[in-house]
């Protein structure tokens, strides 16, 4: 059986090897991230049935928890690492052809470290270790946002760096307080002893932790960096930032809230923040003319919806949130990837310059349409069962307040539909702008290395949309993994 | 409106800070007695009392860094690696910016002094990371000392640069070696970063199993990384 630590150790080791390989022969470096993710995908698939029965607590250095760092490979951790490996693999395949200029070996190394950081975050059960992997994720994404070395990229990377660094410092201070209070860093151990400390003393460390991780998760007041960073990064990096990096931040927030803290007391606050994030994100997306900025703001809106679902703090609510995490990861990376070559061909990110692309790049445009419809939540795609689960969870509360909030969520969806339909209509039914270069049939469509991941993502979106039960089977245990604090403590520390 | 809002946020933060710091906040768990199981909680007390016996390293900090929290250290090493790599990406502009005027050659005294001191700095850095498990210090500190030697070369012996590619190679190799050591532990004893070498007798140079080995690699890695950062920032590209 594969030890879950290999999910971290193998990509980490390969990440160190890439620069070495780059010194000797640069060409094969671009295949290494894909190879590492194939391993992670296979290992996660092998582990999943086993951890569904019982989470696997992995010790390091041969010492039992809580004294050394330990990982908990539960349904949630392995499920998310599977998602990371899947999206990471597809984006890595896309990047083989897409990233041609600049320090290519360094790009692939940083990209692999980014994925390693995300995988480590979802698997670890140690608060400080969570921070370390969080830093690996953040620092590699700062550098990758500025990969092109142009003015916009560097500026937005600096913005991201400053806000991210403040967030990380807050997390570190928060961990310092928590360690001072409990004398331990194991999340299960802290959770077990959380009641022995007065809530007043806990307020500040928890606020620091949630605010710090919240910067990466891009919840409402902390997301000023996101539209710039996601829009000026290379498209493959935008895809991974929107698809994976935000989710990792969100996972950290959820872990702290549910497992350590027990979220019941501030669930309503989370709910309100989620709704506000949703509305602000969708409204801002509506008024964008730049396609990548629009997609970035739409990510904020979707994050708001996920936070709203988490704030319901019920089994069905968390299940819906996880469903949305999967659906958004697939759909948003599909959108960024398919739009990547359209921008490359037209040389502009303006929506109006993409008009008529349906004829010039039919496959990319079709897949973009599938991703957009899925995000809006139209039936045969994965977005529909995901949003439906969230709305069911909210209505389950049978409270007029929640019914009203569902109304607000639906308004957000209508706004979302409005701007996505506008783009889709432009892609397929509007004539190309006059300035567009005359079509040369041989090189219009994206290359095969880009079409394979795009089509696979689209196929997955349709497949899960038609048979949601393949996913919901795993989402229930994963949601319990997050919500059931007592079981988590029991698994790690024993009775 | 905005001012009032920030005032409220500040006030809440100040109240939170006051309540968090009121009474003992560091090491507070020791005063709660019955509520906490003494054997199960409190890392510090356990490490202080058992570390020498469990890891064989007389420097408890080293045993915490490499054994108890070895995965964190591997992560920190990666963070540094990623930061150096990210800096190299940022400074890679594709075109070499040759500054118009050549840097002035250093005087003979400075040049000779640097050449004399440089090997001594390397030796001192190596001493610090080789003895990391015995005396205060360790891989990170030793590596920083080594890198200060590179900084001296940059300041005092202009025109002479450490070979950037060789630095990169050593950096990556040490990272790979750290992971491989961890994986050997996994293969031998079923636990990542397990201390699989004999522990020896405390206070001897060859003791504490993998701790000195890992520290030597960290020392090389940190030294080359910081040296590479110095070289990157000074604009030397090889």
- Count structural domains, chain B: 1
Name the residue range of residue A30's domain.
Answer: 6-493
Q: Which residue has the higher pLDDT, A389 or B202?
A: A389
B43 occurs within a structural domain: no
- Averaged pLDDT of chain B: 81
Tell me the pLDDT tens digit for each residue of A196-224.
777 778 888 888 999 999 999 888 888 88
Q: How far is A222 from chain B (nearest CA, A)?
A: 14
B203 at the A interface (CB within 8 A)? no
Tell which of A17, A23, A61 to mutate to test the B interface (max B CBs under 10 Å).
A61
Tell which of B24, B192, B193, B237 to mutate to test the A interface (max A CBs under 10 Å).
B192
Q: For residue A58, report the phi and psi dihedrals to the nearest 5 degrees.
A: -105, 125
- Count structural domains, chain A: 1
Q: How far is A91 from chain B (nearest CA, A)?
A: 20
A247 occurs within a structural domain: yes
pLDDT value for B238: 41
Lowest-confidence pick of A182-186, A273-277, A489-493, B154-158:
B154-158
Name the residue range of residue B206's domain.
Answer: 60-91+107-238
A270 occurs within a structural domain: yes
The CA-CA-CA angle for residues A458, A464, A470, to 5°, reads: 145
Question: Is the model's pLDDT at B36 over the cut of 50?
Answer: no
Q: Give the three-class secondary structure for A436.
A: coil
Write the CB contacts of A479 (distance below 8 Å, at least 6 apart in sequence): A76, A315, A316, A318, A319, A321, A322
> Between the CA atoms of A413, A416, A421 and A423, what dihedral angle is there, to the nearest 10 degrees?
-170
Tell me the pLDDT tens digit for each residue of A404-447.
999 999 999 999 999 999 999 998 888 887 765 555 555 678 88
Alpha carbon distance A254, A242 (integer Å): 18
A470 occurs within a structural domain: yes
Phi-psi region of B208 (alpha: psi -120 to 50; beta: other; left: phi over 0): left
Judge: B68–A67 Cβ closer than 8 Å, yes or no: yes
B214 occurs within a structural domain: yes
A144 occurs within a structural domain: yes
B46 occurs within a structural domain: no
Neighbours of A182 (CB within 10 A): 26
Residue A204 CA to chain centroid, in angstroms? Answer: 27
B134 occurs within a structural domain: yes
B5 at the A interface (CB within 8 A)? no
B1 occurs within a structural domain: no
pLDDT band at A454 (very low <50, low <70, confident <90, very high): very high
Judge: A9–B88 Cβ closer than 8 Å, yes or no: no
Tell me the CA distances in angstroms from B108 to A354, B111, B148, B162, one per residue in order: 64, 5, 21, 20
Residue whose C-alpha is closest to residue B67's, from B233, B189, B221, B226: B189
Tell me the CA distances in angstroms from A371 to A176, A343, B79, one per residue in order: 42, 17, 34
> Between the CA atoms of B113, B119, B120 and B124, what dihedral angle is there, to the nearest 10 degrees?
140
* Nearest-CB residue to B82 (from A107, A113, A197): A113
Q: How far is A84 from chain B (nearest CA, A)?
A: 19
pLDDT value for A335: 94
pLDDT value for A197: 78
pLDDT band at B29 (very low <50, low <70, confident <90, very high): low
Judge: A196–B36 Cβ closer than 8 Å, yes or no: yes
Question: Is the model's pLDDT at B27 over the cut of 70?
Answer: no
Write the CB contacts of B19 (distance below 8 Å, at least 6 apart in sequence): A200, A201, A203, A204
Percentage of chain B beyond pLDDT 90 is: 23
Neighboring chain B residues of A493 at a CB cutoff of 8 Å? 40
Alpha carbon distance A133, A139 (integer Å): 10
- Cβ B167 vs Cβ B220: under 8 Å: no
DSSP 8-state class, residue B64:
I
Judge: B79–A58 Cβ closer than 8 Å, yes or no: no
Question: Is the model's pLDDT at B35 over the cut of 60?
Answer: no
A1 occurs within a structural domain: no
B30 at the A interface (CB within 8 A)? yes
Neighboring chain B residues of A197 at a CB cutoff of 8 Å? 28
- Averaged pLDDT of chain A: 89
Write the CB contacts of B38 (distance below 8 Å, at least 6 apart in sequence): B45
Alpha carbon distance A456, B167 (integer Å): 41
* Size (chain B), residues: 238
B80 occurs within a structural domain: yes
Alpha carbon distance A130, A124 (integer Å): 6
Percentage of chain B beyond pLDDT 70 is: 84
Q: How many CB pairs under 8 A join A and B?
A: 201
Residue whose C-alpha is closest to residue A115's, from A10, A215, A45: A10
Write the CB contacts of A46 (distance below 8 Å, at least 6 apart in sequence): A1, A2
Q: How far is B105 from chain A (nearest CA, A)?
A: 31
* Size (chain A), residues: 495
Judge: B72–A116 Cβ closer than 8 Å, yes or no: no
* Nearest-CB residue to A13 (from B70, B71, B176): B176
pLDDT value for A67: 79
Q: Which of residues 91-130 of B touch A (CB under 8 A)?
A: 92-94
Tell which of A68, A149, A158, A490 to mutate to test the B interface (max B CBs under 10 Å).
A68
Judge: B179–A13 Cβ closer than 8 Å, yes or no: yes
B170 occurs within a structural domain: yes
Judge: B19–A132 Cβ closer than 8 Å, yes or no: no
Predicted TM-score (pTM) of the model is 0.93
B100 occurs within a structural domain: no
């Amino acid at each position: 059986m594969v030890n879950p630590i290999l999910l971290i150790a193998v990509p980490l080791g390969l990440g160190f090897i890439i620069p070495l390989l780059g010194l000797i022969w640069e060409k094969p470096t671009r295949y290494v991230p894909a190879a590492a993710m194939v391993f992670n995908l296979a290992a996660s698939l092998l582990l999943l049935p086993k951890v569904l029965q019982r989470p696997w607590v992995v010790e390091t250095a041969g010492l039992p928890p809580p004294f050394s760092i330990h990982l908990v490979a539960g349904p949630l951790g392995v499920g998310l690492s599977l998602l990371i490996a899947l999206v990471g693999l597809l984006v890595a395949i896309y990047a083989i052809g897409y990233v041609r200029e600049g320090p290519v070996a360094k790009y692939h190394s940083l990209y692999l470290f980014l994925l390693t950081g995300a995988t480590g975050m979802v698997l670890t059960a140690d608060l400080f270790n969570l921070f370390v992997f969080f830093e690996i994720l953040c620092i590699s994404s700062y550098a990758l946002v500025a990969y092109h070395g142009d003015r916009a990229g560097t500026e937005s990377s600096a913005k991201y760096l400053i806000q991210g660094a403040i967030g990380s410092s807050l997390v570190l201070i928060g961990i310092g307080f928590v360690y001072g209070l409990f004398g331990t860093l194991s999340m299960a151990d802290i959770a077990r002893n959380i009641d022995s400390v007065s809530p007043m003393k806990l307020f500040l460390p928890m606020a620091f932790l949630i605010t710090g991780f919240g910067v990466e998760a891009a919840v409402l007041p902390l997301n000023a960096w996101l539209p710039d960073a996601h829009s000026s990064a290379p498209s493959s990096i935008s895809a991974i930032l929107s698809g994976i990096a935000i989710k990792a931040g969100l996972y950290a927030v959820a872990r702290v809230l549910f497992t350590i803290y027990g979220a019941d007391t501030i669930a309503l606050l989370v709910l309100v923040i989620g709704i506000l994030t949703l509305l602000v994100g969708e409204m801002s997306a509506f008024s964008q003319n730049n396609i990548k900025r629009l997609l970035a703001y739409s990510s904020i809106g979707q994050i708001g919806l996920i936070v709203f679902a988490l704030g319901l703090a019920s089994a069905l609510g968390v299940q819906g949130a996880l469903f949305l995490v999967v659906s958004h990861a697939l759909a948003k990376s599909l959108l960024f990837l398919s739009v990547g070559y359209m921008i490359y061909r037209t040389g502009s990110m303006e929506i109006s310059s993409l008009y008529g692309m349906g004829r010039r790049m039919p496959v990319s445009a079709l897949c973009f349409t599938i991703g957009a419809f899925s995000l809006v939540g139209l039936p045969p795609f994965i977005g529909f069962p995901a949003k439906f689960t969230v709305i069911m969870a909210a209505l389950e509360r049978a409270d007029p307040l929640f019914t009203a909030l569902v109304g607000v969520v639906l308004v957000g969806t209508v706004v979302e539909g409005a701007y996505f339909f506008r783009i889709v209509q432009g892609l397929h039914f509007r004539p190309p702008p006059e300035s567009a270069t005359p079509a040369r049939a041989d090189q219009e469509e994206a290359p095969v290395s880009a079409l394979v991941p795009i089509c696979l993502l689209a196929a997955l979106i349709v497949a899960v949309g038609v048979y949601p039960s393949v996913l919901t089977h795993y989402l229930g245990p994963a949601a319990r993994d997050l919500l059931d604090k007592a079981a988590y403590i029991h698994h790690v520390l024993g009775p | 409106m905005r001012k009032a809002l920030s005032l409220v946020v500040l006030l809440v933060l100040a109240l939170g800070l006051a309540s968090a710091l009121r009474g003992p906040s560091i090491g507070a768990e020791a005063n709660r007695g019955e509520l906490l199981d003494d054997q199960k909680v409190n890392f510090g007390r356990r490490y202080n009392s058992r570390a020498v016996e469990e890891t064989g390293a007389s420097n408890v900090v080293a045993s915490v860094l490499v054994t108890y929290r070895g995965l964190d250290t591997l992560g920190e090493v990666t963070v540094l690696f990623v930061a150096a790599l990210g800096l190299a990406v940022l400074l890679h502009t594709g075109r070499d910016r040759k500054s118009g005027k050549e840097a002035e050659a250093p005087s003979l005294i400075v040049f000779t002094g640097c050449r004399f001191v440089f090997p001594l700095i390397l030796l001192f850095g190596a001493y610090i990371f080789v003895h990391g498990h015995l005396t205060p210090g360790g891989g990170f500190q030793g590596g920083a000392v080594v890198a200060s030697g590179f900084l001296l070369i940059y300041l005092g012996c202009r025109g002479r640069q450490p070979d950037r590619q060789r630095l990169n190679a050593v950096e990556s190799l040490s990272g790979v070696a750290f992971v491989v050591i961890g994986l050997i532990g996994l293969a031998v004893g079923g636990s990542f970063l397990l201390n699989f070498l004999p522990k020896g007798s405390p206070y001897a140079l060859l003791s504490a199993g993998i701790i000195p080995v890992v520290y030597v690699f960290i020392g090389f890695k940190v030294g080359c990384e910081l040296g590479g950062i110095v070289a990157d920032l000074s604009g030397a590209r090889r």
